[in-house]
């Protein structure tokens, strides 16, 4: 049947081939057209999946606290918009040549304690966020923009948590048990987005990346929310830390120090969290041990000469 189908397809291509074009060229053209259609469907599927997750995020937030609603321009999306309007000045962004960081100021927003506390402060809320503004607006296109949806959703959870702790509103976090998929999927999306960025960073590094990491750390630190994340996403978190370490070790490009600087400071931010610290140190020591073993083997081989 397969042979007959291939033969029929070949005859159909030959029969419909436009004049002045070889069968090979026409076949390649048809293959490219079909491939583009498949890619288009994949994009549509991804967009629909993102929309489903967005709606689940809205629904979960509404179940936890019906009075809470996020204003569109009040969090992660605003930070990205501001950076698009007022980009950071970065004149010599790729001139380190593997020897030095050309502009240390470009990384002031990464790995500094004051910025970490500032990001924690940004997660704090006020009564003004209650009962106002339309629903979440989480659609985005850029690499950093793809992180907006999970960051904004997780920020909402943290804000509701802080407001409920302060007695400003009542929230039912037992709903997280009934819908662990949404929060776990959001955390996974955040980790995947950060990994994609660090594998191929764009300079200057957006402050939003620091904000995203700090939201993740705040989520893990919160006693009420961390269990939901750690129970389902622990392996994903371990994989994320391993990926960051491997990015540092594998990067051999000429202009690499700027990218490595950003990744290493993200590791520092993660290492400040007591829950993540031990496993992170174990991963780092494991890499040091492997390198020491390789040096020892190389020394033994060379000593024979």
The first and second tokens of residue 47, run together, are 């967009």
Q: How far apart are CA 262 and CA 93, in angstroms?
A: 13
Q: How far apart are CA 287 and CA 284, in angstroms?
A: 5
List the one residue out of 279, 256, 282 whose CA is nearest residue 94.
256
15-24, 51-60, 166-175: least confidently modelled range: 166-175
Are the C-beta atoms of residues 215 and 158 closer than 8 Å to each other? yes
Asked if pLDDT for residue 208 goes beyond 80, the answer is yes
List the one residue out of 167, 143, 185, 144 whose CA is nearest residue 54.
185
The first and second tokens of residue 158, run together, are 């943290």
Confidence (pLDDT) at 109 = 39
Residue 97, classified by CB atoms within 10 Å of its CB into exposed (0-12), middle (13-18) or buried (19+), is exposed
For the chain, give the mean pLDDT: 76
CB under 8 Å to 160, separation ≥6 — which residues? 61, 64, 65, 68, 169, 171
Q: Residue length, the chain? A: 305
For the stretch 75-93, pLDDT in tens is 545 555 555 545 444 444 4
Cα-flanking dihedrals φ and ψ of residue 287, to 5°?
-65, -40
Asked if pLDDT for residue 164 goes beyond 70, the answer is yes
More confident residue, 202 or 57: 57
Average pLDDT over residues 4-20: 90
Q: How far apart are CA 195 and CA 58, in angstroms?
A: 25
List the one residue out of 151, 169, 126, 127 whose CA is nearest residue 57.
151
Are the C-beta atoms of residues 189 and 257 closer than 8 Å to each other? no
More confident residue, 220 or 97: 220
Are the C-beta atoms of residues 181 and 53 closer than 8 Å to each other? no
Are the C-beta atoms of residues 13 and 27 closer than 8 Å to each other? yes
List the one residue out of 106, 126, 110 whose CA is nearest residue 118.
110
Asked if pLDDT for residue 104 goes beyond 50, the answer is no
List the one residue out of 163, 155, 161, 153 whose CA is nearest residue 130.
163
Are the C-beta atoms of residues 131 and 67 closer than 8 Å to each other? yes
CB under 8 Å to 151, separation ≥6 — which residues? 75, 76, 190, 208, 211, 212, 215
Confidence (pLDDT) at 132 = 35
Asked if pLDDT for residue 103 goes beyond 80, the answer is no
């Amino acid at each position: 049947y397969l042979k007959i189908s291939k033969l029929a397809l070949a005859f159909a291509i030959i029969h419909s081939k436009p004049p002045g074009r070889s069968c090979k060229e026409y076949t390649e053209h048809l293959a490219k057209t079909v491939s583009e259609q498949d890619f288009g469907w994949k994009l549509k599927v991804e967009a629909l999946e993102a929309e489903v997750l967005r709606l689940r995020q809205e629904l979960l937030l509404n179940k936890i606290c019906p009075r809470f609603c996020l204003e569109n321009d009040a969090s992660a999306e605003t930070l990205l918009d501001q950076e698009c309007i007022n980009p950071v000045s970065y004149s010599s962004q790729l001139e380190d040549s593997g020897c030095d960081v050309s502009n240390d100021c470009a990384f002031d927003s990464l790995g500094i304690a004051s910025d970490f506390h500032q990001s924690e402060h940004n997660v704090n809320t006020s009564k003004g966020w209650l009962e106002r503004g339309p629903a979440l607006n989480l659609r985005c296109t850029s690499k950093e923009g793809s992180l907006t949806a999970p960051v904004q959703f997780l920020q909402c959870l943290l804000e509701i948590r802080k407001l409920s702790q302060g007695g400003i509103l009542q929230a039912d976090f037992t709903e997280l048990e009934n819908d662990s998929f949404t929060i776990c999927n959001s955390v996974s999306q955040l980790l995947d987005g950060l990994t994609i960025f660090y594998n191929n960073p764009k300079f200057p590094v957006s402050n939003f990346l620091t904000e995203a990491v700090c939201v993740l750390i705040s989520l893990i630190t919160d006693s009420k929310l961390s269990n939901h994340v750690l129970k389902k996403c622990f392996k994903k978190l371990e994989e994320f830390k391993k990926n960051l370490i491997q990015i540092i070790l594998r990067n051999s490009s000429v202009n690499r120090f700027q990218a490595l600087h950003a990744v290493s400071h993200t590791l520092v931010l993660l290492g400040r969290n007591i829950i993540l610290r031990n496993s992170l140190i174990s991963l780092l020591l494991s890499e040091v041990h492997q390198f020491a073993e390789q040096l020892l083997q190389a020394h033994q081989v060379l000593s024979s000469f």
